[in-house]
């Protein structure tokens, strides 16, 4: 069995999508605030989940080389997307 098939994550990470541009902007401001409050240098990587709108998520996926996108399920900010490269 390959290592990939044997791998079983113990946690699942769910990413929520922003409902609108205003929510996305608010989340980005919160991200900037947290970096400033903690004196985090710009060149230091930190993980803070910033929900994006579905349109912006598709733009990022397109830039990453995905050719097709399909929303399989959507309930509020939870979205399941099928995409192909």
pLDDT tens-digit series, residues 17-27:
777 889 888 98
Q: For the chain, how long is the longest CA-to-CA vector?
A: 47
Phi first, then psi, for residue 71 (nearest 5°) are -80, 115
Domain regions of the chain by residue span: 13-84
Q: Which of 34, 29, 33, 28 is nearest to 56 (CA)?
A: 28
pTM: 0.55
What is the distance between the alpha carbons of residues 22 and 84, in angstroms, rounded to a whole number?
29
- Give the model's pLDDT for residue 31: 87
């Amino acid at each position: 069995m390959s290592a990939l098939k044997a791998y079983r994550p113990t946690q699942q990470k769910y990413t929520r999508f922003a409902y609108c541009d205003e929510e996305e902007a608010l989340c980005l401001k919160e991200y900037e605030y947290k970096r400033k409050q903690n004196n985090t240098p710009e060149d230091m990587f930190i993980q803070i989940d910033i929900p994006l709108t579905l349109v912006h998520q598709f733009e990022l996926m397109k830039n990453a080389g995905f050719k097709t996108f399909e929303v399989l399920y959507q309930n509020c900010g939870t979205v399941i997307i099928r995409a192909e490269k």
